[in-house]
Structure 1
Amino acid sequence: MGGVRKTWGAVVAGVVAAVLLTGCASGGAGSTGPEATFAVSADAPRASGVGDAAFTDGTPSAELVDSGWLDLVAEATGIPRRALQGYAGAALAIGERQPDCHLGWNTLAGIGWVESHHGTIFGGHIQDDGVTSDLIIGVALDGNGFQEIPDSDAGAVDGDTEWDRAVGPMQIVPTTWAAWATEANGDGVPDIHNIDDSSLSAAEYLCYSGGDLGTEDGWRTAIAAYNESPAYLDEVLEYANRYADEAADAG
Protein backbone atom coordinates (compact mmCIF):
# COMPACT_ATOMS: atom_id res chain seq x y z
CA MET A 1 0.00 0.00 0.00
CA GLY A 2 1.03 3.61 -0.42
CA GLY A 3 1.74 6.43 2.04
CA VAL A 4 -0.21 6.86 5.26
CA ARG A 5 -2.23 9.99 4.45
CA LYS A 6 -3.37 8.80 1.07
CA THR A 7 -3.37 5.05 1.51
CA TRP A 8 -6.22 2.82 0.36
CA GLY A 9 -7.17 -0.39 2.17
CA ALA A 10 -6.59 -3.36 -0.05
CA VAL A 11 -7.53 -6.38 1.97
CA VAL A 12 -11.03 -7.00 3.30
CA ALA A 13 -10.23 -10.41 4.78
CA GLY A 14 -8.21 -13.52 4.01
CA VAL A 15 -10.33 -14.31 0.97
CA VAL A 16 -9.34 -11.05 -0.69
CA ALA A 17 -5.72 -11.61 0.25
CA ALA A 18 -5.96 -14.87 -1.65
CA VAL A 19 -7.40 -13.06 -4.64
CA LEU A 20 -4.48 -10.64 -4.67
CA LEU A 21 -2.00 -13.50 -4.79
CA THR A 22 -3.58 -14.89 -7.95
CA GLY A 23 -2.95 -11.80 -10.09
CA CYS A 24 -1.89 -12.56 -13.66
CA ALA A 25 1.79 -11.72 -13.99
CA SER A 26 1.55 -10.68 -17.63
CA GLY A 27 -1.51 -8.45 -17.22
CA GLY A 28 -5.11 -8.85 -18.31
CA ALA A 29 -6.23 -10.35 -21.57
CA GLY A 30 -8.74 -8.46 -23.64
CA SER A 31 -8.98 -5.70 -26.17
CA THR A 32 -5.39 -4.68 -25.48
CA GLY A 33 -4.15 -8.25 -25.76
CA PRO A 34 -2.68 -10.84 -23.39
CA GLU A 35 0.41 -8.69 -22.79
CA ALA A 36 -1.62 -5.63 -21.73
CA THR A 37 0.24 -3.38 -19.32
CA PHE A 38 -2.54 -0.95 -18.47
CA ALA A 39 -6.32 -0.91 -18.73
CA VAL A 40 -8.27 0.48 -21.62
CA SER A 41 -10.52 3.40 -20.67
CA ALA A 42 -14.08 2.22 -21.31
CA ASP A 43 -16.88 4.77 -21.54
CA ALA A 44 -20.46 4.50 -20.34
CA PRO A 45 -23.26 6.30 -22.22
CA ARG A 46 -25.23 9.03 -20.51
CA ALA A 47 -28.93 8.67 -19.91
CA SER A 48 -31.18 10.28 -22.48
CA GLY A 49 -31.60 13.97 -21.83
CA VAL A 50 -28.71 14.14 -19.36
CA GLY A 51 -26.30 16.85 -20.45
CA ASP A 52 -22.53 16.95 -20.30
CA ALA A 53 -22.60 19.12 -17.16
CA ALA A 54 -25.47 17.38 -15.37
CA PHE A 55 -23.48 16.30 -12.32
CA THR A 56 -22.00 19.76 -11.96
CA ASP A 57 -25.54 21.11 -12.08
CA GLY A 58 -26.72 18.81 -9.30
CA THR A 59 -27.80 15.51 -10.87
CA PRO A 60 -26.77 12.53 -8.67
CA SER A 61 -24.04 10.45 -10.28
CA ALA A 62 -26.20 7.31 -10.41
CA GLU A 63 -28.72 9.14 -12.61
CA LEU A 64 -26.13 9.99 -15.24
CA VAL A 65 -25.94 6.48 -16.69
CA ASP A 66 -28.15 5.07 -19.45
CA SER A 67 -30.42 2.42 -17.90
CA GLY A 68 -30.50 0.19 -20.97
CA TRP A 69 -26.71 0.08 -21.03
CA LEU A 70 -26.69 -0.83 -17.34
CA ASP A 71 -29.04 -3.75 -17.96
CA LEU A 72 -26.99 -5.02 -20.88
CA VAL A 73 -23.55 -4.65 -19.34
CA ALA A 74 -24.53 -5.95 -15.91
CA GLU A 75 -25.73 -9.15 -17.54
CA ALA A 76 -22.68 -9.43 -19.79
CA THR A 77 -20.09 -8.84 -17.07
CA GLY A 78 -21.77 -10.30 -14.01
CA ILE A 79 -21.27 -7.03 -12.13
CA PRO A 80 -24.33 -6.37 -9.96
CA ARG A 81 -26.34 -3.63 -11.65
CA ARG A 82 -26.31 -1.25 -8.69
CA ALA A 83 -22.55 -1.59 -8.31
CA LEU A 84 -22.06 -0.96 -12.02
CA GLN A 85 -24.27 2.10 -11.75
CA GLY A 86 -21.98 3.42 -9.02
CA TYR A 87 -18.81 2.87 -11.04
CA ALA A 88 -20.18 4.23 -14.30
CA GLY A 89 -21.81 7.21 -12.62
CA ALA A 90 -18.56 8.08 -10.88
CA ALA A 91 -16.63 7.82 -14.15
CA LEU A 92 -19.08 10.17 -15.87
CA ALA A 93 -19.02 12.59 -12.93
CA ILE A 94 -15.22 12.71 -12.76
CA GLY A 95 -15.21 13.18 -16.52
CA GLU A 96 -17.06 16.45 -15.98
CA ARG A 97 -14.73 17.56 -13.22
CA GLN A 98 -11.46 16.33 -14.69
CA PRO A 99 -11.88 15.60 -18.40
CA ASP A 100 -8.15 15.08 -18.86
CA CYS A 101 -8.08 12.18 -16.40
CA HIS A 102 -9.71 9.62 -18.76
CA LEU A 103 -10.80 7.28 -15.98
CA GLY A 104 -12.97 4.46 -17.30
CA TRP A 105 -15.78 2.82 -15.35
CA ASN A 106 -14.01 -0.49 -15.92
CA THR A 107 -11.03 0.54 -13.80
CA LEU A 108 -13.32 1.39 -10.90
CA ALA A 109 -15.07 -1.94 -11.46
CA GLY A 110 -11.74 -3.78 -11.40
CA ILE A 111 -10.90 -2.17 -8.09
CA GLY A 112 -14.39 -2.86 -6.78
CA TRP A 113 -14.03 -6.55 -7.62
CA VAL A 114 -10.68 -6.97 -5.88
CA GLU A 115 -11.65 -4.90 -2.85
CA SER A 116 -15.10 -6.29 -2.03
CA HIS A 117 -16.41 -8.39 -4.93
CA HIS A 118 -18.68 -5.45 -5.74
CA GLY A 119 -19.99 -5.24 -2.20
CA THR A 120 -20.81 -8.95 -1.88
CA ILE A 121 -17.68 -10.15 -0.08
CA PHE A 122 -19.45 -11.18 3.13
CA GLY A 123 -22.63 -12.41 1.48
CA GLY A 124 -24.30 -9.02 1.35
CA HIS A 125 -25.16 -6.77 -1.56
CA ILE A 126 -25.48 -3.16 -2.56
CA GLN A 127 -29.02 -1.97 -1.94
CA ASP A 128 -31.11 0.21 -4.22
CA ASP A 129 -30.01 3.31 -2.30
CA GLY A 130 -26.38 2.43 -2.99
CA VAL A 131 -25.50 1.44 0.57
CA THR A 132 -24.10 -2.02 1.33
CA SER A 133 -26.55 -4.30 3.11
CA ASP A 134 -23.78 -5.33 5.53
CA LEU A 135 -20.85 -3.30 6.80
CA ILE A 136 -17.60 -4.16 5.02
CA ILE A 137 -14.75 -3.58 7.46
CA GLY A 138 -11.23 -4.77 6.68
CA VAL A 139 -8.61 -6.30 8.92
CA ALA A 140 -6.70 -4.23 11.46
CA LEU A 141 -3.77 -2.52 9.76
CA ASP A 142 -1.43 -3.42 12.62
CA GLY A 143 1.70 -4.23 10.63
CA ASN A 144 1.12 -7.98 10.90
CA GLY A 145 1.23 -8.77 7.19
CA PHE A 146 -0.26 -5.41 6.30
CA GLN A 147 0.79 -1.79 6.47
CA GLU A 148 0.85 -0.40 10.00
CA ILE A 149 -1.57 2.50 10.41
CA PRO A 150 -2.38 3.46 14.01
CA ASP A 151 -5.89 4.73 14.70
CA SER A 152 -6.47 8.14 13.14
CA ASP A 153 -10.19 8.73 13.72
CA ALA A 154 -10.92 7.47 17.24
CA GLY A 155 -12.85 4.66 15.55
CA ALA A 156 -15.42 7.00 14.00
CA VAL A 157 -15.15 5.49 10.51
CA ASP A 158 -13.95 1.94 11.12
CA GLY A 159 -15.01 1.22 14.70
CA ASP A 160 -11.43 0.50 15.80
CA THR A 161 -9.76 2.82 18.32
CA GLU A 162 -6.37 1.10 18.13
CA TRP A 163 -5.70 0.58 14.41
CA ASP A 164 -7.15 1.90 11.19
CA ARG A 165 -9.09 -0.46 8.93
CA ALA A 166 -10.26 -0.18 5.34
CA VAL A 167 -13.99 0.41 5.05
CA GLY A 168 -16.81 0.15 2.52
CA PRO A 169 -17.17 -1.38 -0.94
CA MET A 170 -14.06 0.43 -2.22
CA GLN A 171 -12.11 -0.28 1.01
CA ILE A 172 -10.95 3.20 1.97
CA VAL A 173 -8.97 3.83 5.16
CA PRO A 174 -10.03 6.66 7.49
CA THR A 175 -7.04 8.88 6.71
CA THR A 176 -7.78 8.75 3.01
CA TRP A 177 -11.51 9.20 3.54
CA ALA A 178 -10.78 12.34 5.59
CA ALA A 179 -8.79 13.76 2.69
CA TRP A 180 -10.87 12.60 -0.29
CA ALA A 181 -14.46 11.94 0.82
CA THR A 182 -16.75 13.14 -1.98
CA GLU A 183 -20.53 13.31 -2.07
CA ALA A 184 -22.11 11.90 -5.23
CA ASN A 185 -25.74 10.97 -4.59
CA GLY A 186 -27.17 14.39 -3.82
CA ASP A 187 -27.88 14.01 -0.11
CA GLY A 188 -25.04 16.31 0.88
CA VAL A 189 -23.25 13.80 3.13
CA PRO A 190 -20.38 11.59 1.88
CA ASP A 191 -20.99 8.00 2.99
CA ILE A 192 -18.11 5.52 2.85
CA HIS A 193 -20.63 2.64 2.71
CA ASN A 194 -22.40 4.09 -0.35
CA ILE A 195 -21.18 2.85 -3.73
CA ASP A 196 -21.80 6.21 -5.42
CA ASP A 197 -19.92 8.27 -2.84
CA SER A 198 -17.10 5.77 -2.38
CA SER A 199 -16.63 5.28 -6.14
CA LEU A 200 -16.42 9.01 -6.80
CA SER A 201 -14.05 9.44 -3.87
CA ALA A 202 -11.88 6.71 -5.35
CA ALA A 203 -12.07 8.39 -8.75
CA GLU A 204 -10.94 11.72 -7.32
CA TYR A 205 -7.96 10.07 -5.67
CA LEU A 206 -7.01 8.02 -8.72
CA CYS A 207 -7.05 11.10 -10.95
CA TYR A 208 -5.04 13.06 -8.40
CA SER A 209 -2.48 10.28 -8.19
CA GLY A 210 -2.14 9.32 -11.84
CA GLY A 211 -3.07 12.41 -13.80
CA ASP A 212 -4.02 10.99 -17.20
CA LEU A 213 -5.18 7.41 -16.73
CA GLY A 214 -5.43 7.04 -20.49
CA THR A 215 -1.66 6.59 -20.47
CA GLU A 216 0.27 3.60 -19.20
CA ASP A 217 2.31 5.63 -16.74
CA GLY A 218 -0.72 7.47 -15.41
CA TRP A 219 -2.83 4.34 -15.00
CA ARG A 220 -0.13 2.29 -13.32
CA THR A 221 0.84 5.17 -11.02
CA ALA A 222 -2.78 5.62 -9.95
CA ILE A 223 -3.31 1.95 -9.16
CA ALA A 224 0.00 1.75 -7.30
CA ALA A 225 -1.13 4.70 -5.17
CA TYR A 226 -4.32 2.82 -4.35
CA ASN A 227 -2.31 -0.30 -3.49
CA GLU A 228 1.37 -0.74 -4.20
CA SER A 229 1.27 -4.54 -4.54
CA PRO A 230 2.20 -5.73 -8.05
CA ALA A 231 -0.25 -8.62 -7.64
CA TYR A 232 -2.99 -6.12 -6.85
CA LEU A 233 -2.25 -4.13 -10.00
CA ASP A 234 -2.30 -7.30 -12.10
CA GLU A 235 -5.66 -8.34 -10.68
CA VAL A 236 -7.25 -4.95 -11.27
CA LEU A 237 -5.78 -4.90 -14.77
CA GLU A 238 -7.16 -8.32 -15.59
CA TYR A 239 -10.68 -7.51 -14.47
CA ALA A 240 -10.74 -3.96 -15.87
CA ASN A 241 -9.86 -5.16 -19.36
CA ARG A 242 -12.13 -8.19 -19.09
CA TYR A 243 -15.09 -6.00 -18.18
CA ALA A 244 -14.34 -3.59 -21.01
CA ASP A 245 -14.22 -6.45 -23.51
CA GLU A 246 -17.41 -8.07 -22.24
CA ALA A 247 -19.23 -4.74 -22.40
CA ALA A 248 -18.01 -4.13 -25.95
CA ASP A 249 -19.03 -7.62 -27.05
CA ALA A 250 -22.50 -7.06 -25.59
CA GLY A 251 -22.95 -4.14 -27.95
Structure 2
Amino acid sequence: MRKTWGAVVGAGLTAVVLLTGCTAGAGGSTATGPDATFAVNAEAARASGVTDTAFDDGTPSADLVDTGWLDRVAEATDIPRRALQGYAGAALAIGEQQPDCHLGWNTLAGIGWVESHHGTIFGGHIQDNGVTSDLIIGVALDGNGFQEIPDSDAGAVDGDTEWDRAVGPMQIVPTTWAAWATEANGDGVPDIHNIDDSSLSAAEYLCYSGGDLGTEDGWRTAIGAYNESPAYLDEVLDYANRYASEAMAEN
Protein backbone atom coordinates (compact mmCIF):
# COMPACT_ATOMS: atom_id res chain seq x y z
CA MET A 1 0.00 0.00 0.00
CA ARG A 2 1.41 3.39 -0.95
CA LYS A 3 2.30 5.68 1.91
CA THR A 4 -0.02 8.63 2.47
CA TRP A 5 1.30 11.84 0.99
CA GLY A 6 1.62 14.63 3.53
CA ALA A 7 1.05 12.39 6.53
CA VAL A 8 1.90 15.13 9.04
CA VAL A 9 0.28 18.06 7.26
CA GLY A 10 -1.96 18.85 10.20
CA ALA A 11 0.93 19.15 12.64
CA GLY A 12 2.17 22.59 11.77
CA LEU A 13 0.25 24.45 9.11
CA THR A 14 0.00 27.69 11.05
CA ALA A 15 3.71 27.79 11.75
CA VAL A 16 4.51 27.01 8.15
CA VAL A 17 2.34 29.85 6.91
CA LEU A 18 4.15 32.23 9.25
CA LEU A 19 7.61 31.03 8.31
CA THR A 20 7.38 30.50 4.58
CA GLY A 21 4.57 32.74 3.47
CA CYS A 22 2.50 29.85 2.12
CA THR A 23 -1.14 30.73 1.61
CA ALA A 24 -4.30 28.70 1.28
CA GLY A 25 -5.96 28.29 -2.07
CA ALA A 26 -9.43 29.47 -2.97
CA GLY A 27 -10.96 26.49 -1.26
CA GLY A 28 -9.01 27.06 1.94
CA SER A 29 -6.66 24.12 1.43
CA THR A 30 -2.86 24.17 1.55
CA ALA A 31 -0.18 22.20 -0.25
CA THR A 32 0.13 18.68 1.04
CA GLY A 33 3.68 17.43 0.54
CA PRO A 34 6.66 17.19 2.87
CA ASP A 35 8.45 19.95 0.98
CA ALA A 36 5.48 22.14 0.05
CA THR A 37 4.17 21.98 3.61
CA PHE A 38 7.39 22.02 5.62
CA ALA A 39 9.87 23.70 3.27
CA VAL A 40 12.58 25.55 5.14
CA ASN A 41 13.50 28.54 3.03
CA ALA A 42 15.96 31.31 3.85
CA GLU A 43 13.50 33.11 6.13
CA ALA A 44 12.73 29.99 8.16
CA ALA A 45 16.27 28.67 8.50
CA ARG A 46 17.60 32.13 9.39
CA ALA A 47 15.04 32.65 12.10
CA SER A 48 17.44 34.79 14.12
CA GLY A 49 17.42 37.40 11.35
CA VAL A 50 20.65 36.48 9.53
CA THR A 51 19.82 37.71 6.03
CA ASP A 52 23.06 39.26 4.74
CA THR A 53 24.64 36.10 3.33
CA ALA A 54 23.95 34.36 0.04
CA PHE A 55 25.38 31.29 -1.64
CA ASP A 56 25.69 33.11 -4.96
CA ASP A 57 27.92 35.67 -3.23
CA GLY A 58 30.43 32.94 -2.41
CA THR A 59 29.28 32.03 1.08
CA PRO A 60 29.76 28.29 1.77
CA SER A 61 26.40 26.54 1.96
CA ALA A 62 26.99 25.44 5.55
CA ASP A 63 27.36 29.08 6.62
CA LEU A 64 23.92 29.99 5.29
CA VAL A 65 22.19 28.19 8.14
CA ASP A 66 21.35 29.95 11.37
CA THR A 67 23.22 28.37 14.30
CA GLY A 68 20.30 28.72 16.68
CA TRP A 69 18.02 26.89 14.25
CA LEU A 70 20.64 24.17 13.87
CA ASP A 71 20.91 23.67 17.63
CA ARG A 72 17.15 23.45 18.12
CA VAL A 73 16.38 21.21 15.17
CA ALA A 74 19.35 18.88 15.71
CA GLU A 75 18.16 18.31 19.25
CA ALA A 76 14.53 17.86 18.21
CA THR A 77 15.26 15.39 15.41
CA ASP A 78 18.41 13.62 16.64
CA ILE A 79 20.06 14.39 13.30
CA PRO A 80 23.78 14.98 13.92
CA ARG A 81 24.28 18.73 13.82
CA ARG A 82 26.96 18.72 11.11
CA ALA A 83 24.84 16.50 8.88
CA LEU A 84 21.81 18.74 9.38
CA GLN A 85 23.95 21.75 8.51
CA GLY A 86 24.82 20.10 5.20
CA TYR A 87 21.20 19.32 4.34
CA ALA A 88 19.84 22.72 5.34
CA GLY A 89 22.68 24.58 3.65
CA ALA A 90 22.06 22.71 0.42
CA ALA A 91 18.33 23.43 0.60
CA LEU A 92 19.03 27.13 1.09
CA ALA A 93 21.58 27.24 -1.73
CA ILE A 94 19.34 25.44 -4.21
CA GLY A 95 16.47 27.65 -3.07
CA GLU A 96 18.42 30.70 -4.18
CA GLN A 97 19.40 29.18 -7.50
CA GLN A 98 16.22 27.25 -8.32
CA PRO A 99 13.39 28.75 -6.27
CA ASP A 100 10.75 26.86 -8.24
CA CYS A 101 12.15 23.50 -7.11
CA HIS A 102 10.86 23.79 -3.52
CA LEU A 103 13.29 21.23 -2.12
CA GLY A 104 13.19 21.12 1.68
CA TRP A 105 16.02 20.19 4.02
CA ASN A 106 13.83 17.41 5.39
CA THR A 107 13.83 15.51 2.10
CA LEU A 108 17.63 15.63 1.95
CA ALA A 109 17.69 14.49 5.58
CA GLY A 110 15.34 11.62 4.78
CA ILE A 111 17.64 10.50 1.99
CA GLY A 112 20.69 10.96 4.21
CA TRP A 113 19.21 8.72 6.87
CA VAL A 114 18.22 5.94 4.49
CA GLU A 115 21.50 6.05 2.58
CA SER A 116 24.06 6.31 5.38
CA HIS A 117 22.35 7.05 8.71
CA HIS A 118 23.68 10.58 8.35
CA GLY A 119 27.23 9.39 7.77
CA THR A 120 27.34 7.04 10.76
CA ILE A 121 26.46 3.74 9.06
CA PHE A 122 29.89 2.13 9.54
CA GLY A 123 30.48 3.57 12.98
CA GLY A 124 31.98 6.82 11.77
CA HIS A 125 30.69 10.36 11.73
CA ILE A 126 30.76 13.57 9.75
CA GLN A 127 33.67 15.69 10.90
CA ASP A 128 33.63 19.44 11.48
CA ASN A 129 35.01 19.98 7.98
CA GLY A 130 32.02 18.09 6.55
CA VAL A 131 33.97 15.02 5.44
CA THR A 132 33.04 11.56 6.72
CA SER A 133 35.54 10.12 9.19
CA ASP A 134 35.41 6.80 7.33
CA LEU A 135 34.82 6.11 3.65
CA ILE A 136 31.24 5.08 2.91
CA ILE A 137 31.23 2.88 -0.17
CA GLY A 138 28.26 0.70 -1.06
CA VAL A 139 28.02 -2.80 -2.46
CA ALA A 140 29.01 -3.65 -6.01
CA LEU A 141 26.14 -2.87 -8.37
CA ASP A 142 26.53 -6.16 -10.17
CA GLY A 143 22.86 -7.01 -10.67
CA ASN A 144 22.82 -9.48 -7.79
CA GLY A 145 19.88 -8.03 -5.89
CA PHE A 146 20.81 -4.52 -7.02
CA GLN A 147 20.86 -2.53 -10.22
CA GLU A 148 23.58 -3.62 -12.64
CA ILE A 149 26.00 -0.79 -13.47
CA PRO A 150 29.35 -1.80 -14.98
CA ASP A 151 32.35 0.29 -14.02
CA SER A 152 32.13 3.79 -15.47
CA ASP A 153 35.03 5.59 -13.81
CA ALA A 154 37.93 3.11 -13.84
CA GLY A 155 37.53 2.99 -10.08
CA ALA A 156 38.44 6.65 -9.60
CA VAL A 157 35.42 7.44 -7.42
CA ASP A 158 34.52 4.10 -5.84
CA GLY A 159 37.75 2.08 -6.03
CA ASP A 160 36.10 -0.68 -8.08
CA THR A 161 37.24 -1.24 -11.67
CA GLU A 162 34.61 -3.89 -12.42
CA TRP A 163 31.34 -2.47 -11.09
CA ASP A 164 30.12 0.92 -9.95
CA ARG A 165 29.30 1.47 -6.28
CA ALA A 166 27.43 4.23 -4.49
CA VAL A 167 29.75 6.49 -2.54
CA GLY A 168 29.66 9.02 0.29
CA PRO A 169 27.06 10.09 2.85
CA MET A 170 24.43 10.59 0.13
CA GLN A 171 25.45 7.38 -1.70
CA ILE A 172 25.86 8.83 -5.18
CA VAL A 173 26.96 6.52 -8.01
CA PRO A 174 29.93 7.58 -10.17
CA THR A 175 27.82 8.25 -13.28
CA THR A 176 25.55 10.61 -11.36
CA TRP A 177 28.53 12.25 -9.67
CA ALA A 178 30.19 12.82 -13.03
CA ALA A 179 27.12 14.70 -14.24
CA TRP A 180 26.08 16.56 -11.07
CA ALA A 181 29.15 17.02 -8.84
CA THR A 182 28.79 20.46 -7.25
CA GLU A 183 31.14 22.38 -4.99
CA ALA A 184 29.43 23.88 -1.96
CA ASN A 185 32.02 24.62 0.72
CA GLY A 186 34.20 27.15 -1.07
CA ASP A 187 37.33 25.09 -1.62
CA GLY A 188 36.74 24.79 -5.35
CA VAL A 189 36.82 20.98 -5.46
CA PRO A 190 33.62 18.85 -5.34
CA ASP A 191 34.14 16.05 -2.81
CA ILE A 192 31.70 13.13 -2.78
CA HIS A 193 32.70 12.37 0.82
CA ASN A 194 31.80 15.90 1.99
CA ILE A 195 28.26 16.37 3.30
CA ASP A 196 27.99 19.92 1.89
CA ASP A 197 29.16 19.02 -1.60
CA SER A 198 27.25 15.75 -1.76
CA SER A 199 24.03 17.28 -0.41
CA LEU A 200 24.08 20.11 -2.93
CA SER A 201 24.93 17.67 -5.73
CA ALA A 202 21.97 15.53 -4.66
CA ALA A 203 19.78 18.63 -4.57
CA GLU A 204 20.79 19.58 -8.11
CA TYR A 205 19.92 16.07 -9.31
CA LEU A 206 16.61 15.95 -7.44
CA CYS A 207 15.49 19.30 -8.84
CA TYR A 208 16.49 18.28 -12.35
CA SER A 209 14.65 14.98 -12.02
CA GLY A 210 11.45 16.14 -10.34
CA GLY A 211 11.06 19.77 -11.29
CA ASP A 212 8.78 21.12 -8.58
CA LEU A 213 9.19 19.02 -5.44
CA GLY A 214 6.37 20.97 -3.85
CA THR A 215 4.01 18.73 -5.83
CA GLU A 216 3.36 15.07 -5.16
CA ASP A 217 4.23 14.04 -8.69
CA GLY A 218 7.43 16.07 -8.70
CA TRP A 219 8.54 14.77 -5.32
CA ARG A 220 7.84 11.14 -6.14
CA THR A 221 9.54 11.45 -9.53
CA ALA A 222 12.64 12.97 -7.95
CA ILE A 223 12.96 10.29 -5.27
CA GLY A 224 12.26 7.59 -7.84
CA ALA A 225 15.13 8.89 -9.95
CA TYR A 226 17.41 8.71 -6.93
CA ASN A 227 16.34 5.15 -6.20
CA GLU A 228 13.49 3.46 -8.06
CA SER A 229 12.48 1.12 -5.21
CA PRO A 230 8.96 1.82 -3.86
CA ALA A 231 10.14 0.74 -0.41
CA TYR A 232 12.93 3.31 -0.60
CA LEU A 233 10.48 6.07 -1.49
CA ASP A 234 8.21 5.11 1.40
CA GLU A 235 11.08 5.18 3.88
CA VAL A 236 12.37 8.55 2.68
CA LEU A 237 8.82 9.92 2.89
CA ASP A 238 8.43 8.60 6.43
CA TYR A 239 11.64 10.22 7.62
CA ALA A 240 11.08 13.48 5.71
CA ASN A 241 7.69 13.87 7.34
CA ARG A 242 8.97 12.81 10.76
CA TYR A 243 11.83 15.29 10.71
CA ALA A 244 9.59 18.11 9.53
CA SER A 245 7.04 17.40 12.24
CA GLU A 246 9.67 17.28 14.97
CA ALA A 247 11.29 20.48 13.75
CA MET A 248 8.00 22.36 13.58
CA ALA A 249 7.04 21.20 17.07
CA GLU A 250 10.27 22.72 18.34
CA ASN A 251 9.55 26.17 16.88
Give the TM-score normalised by structure 1.
0.86
Partner of 2:8: 31
Q: Give the alignment's Cα RMSD to 1 decimal.
A: 1.9
C-alpha displacement of 1:25: 4.5
Query: For residues 140 and 246 of structure 1, do their structure 2 counterparts lie closer, same or farther at Cα, with a shift above 3 Å needed?
Result: same
C-alpha displacement of 1:31: 2.3
Q: Tell me, which stretches of 5 or more residues in structure 1 are unaligned?
A: 1-23
> Which structure's relative contact order is higher, taking Cα pairs within 8 Å and 6+ residues apart?
1
Residues 149-179 of structure 1 deviation map (CA, whole Å, 9 limit, x = unaligned):
0000000000000000000000000000000
Matches within 5 A, 1:125-144: 125-144=125-144
Percentage of identical aligned residues: 84
Matches within 5 A, 1:1-251: 25-27=2-4, 30-32=7-9, 38-40=33-35, 41-43=38-40, 44-46=44-46, 48-51=49-52, 54-251=54-251
C-alpha displacement of 1:30: 4.6
Residues 55-110 of structure 1 deviation map (CA, whole Å, 9 limit, x = unaligned):
00100000000000000000000000000000000000000100000000000000
Task: Note if contact 1:38-1:237 (Cα within 8 Å) is conserved in structure 2.
Answer: no
Residues 174-223 of structure 1 deviation map (CA, whole Å, 9 limit, x = unaligned):
00000000000000000000000000000000000000000111101100
Query: For residues 50 and 187 of structure 1, do their structure 2 counterparts lie closer, same or farther at Cα, with a shift above 3 Å needed?
Result: farther
Query: For residues 28 and 81 of structure 1, do their structure 2 counterparts lie closer, same or farther at Cα, with a shift above 3 Å needed?
Result: farther
- Tell me, what secondary structure is at the counterpart of 1:164? coil
Q: Tell me, which stretches of 5 or more residues in structure 2 are unaligned?
A: 12-30
> Residue type of the partner of 1:134?
D
- Tell me, what secondary structure is at the counterpart of 1:56? helix
- Tell me, what secondary structure is at the counterpart of 2:55? coil
C-alpha displacement of 1:33: 6.1
C-alpha displacement of 1:48: 4.3
Give the TM-score normalised by structure 2.
0.86
Q: Structure 2: how far apart are the matches of 1:82 and 1:217?
A: 31
C-alpha displacement of 1:45: 1.4
Q: Structure 2: how far apart are the matches of 1:29 and 1:217?
A: 13
> Residue type of the partner of 1:51?
D
> Residue type of the partner of 1:207?
C
Q: Structure 2: how far apart are the matches of 1:185 and 1:29?
A: 32
Q: Structure 2: how far apart are the matches of 1:170 and 1:183?
A: 14
Task: Note if contact 1:29-1:238 (Cα within 8 Å) is conserved in structure 2.
Answer: no
Task: Note if contact 1:27-1:37 (Cα within 8 Å) is conserved in structure 2.
Answer: no
Task: Note if contact 2:6-2:34 (Cα within 8 Å) is conserved in structure 1.
Answer: no
Q: Structure 2: how far apart are the matches of 1:33 and 1:27?
A: 13
Task: Note if contact 2:155-2:161 (Cα within 8 Å) is conserved in structure 1.
Answer: yes
Q: Which structure's residues are more often helix, by fraction? A: 2
- Tell me, what secondary structure is at the counterpart of 2:111? helix
Task: Note if contact 2:86-2:199 (Cα within 8 Å) is conserved in structure 1.
Answer: yes
C-alpha displacement of 1:49: 3.7
Task: Note if contact 2:116-2:170 (Cα within 8 Å) is conserved in structure 1.
Answer: yes
Query: For residues 139 and 27 of structure 1, do their structure 2 counterparts lie closer, same or farther at Cα, with a shift above 3 Å needed?
Result: farther
Partner of 1:8: none
Residues 85-144 of structure 1 deviation map (CA, whole Å, 9 limit, x = unaligned):
000000000001000000000000000000000000000000000000000000000000
Q: Structure 2: how far apart are the matches of 1:37 and 1:168?
A: 31
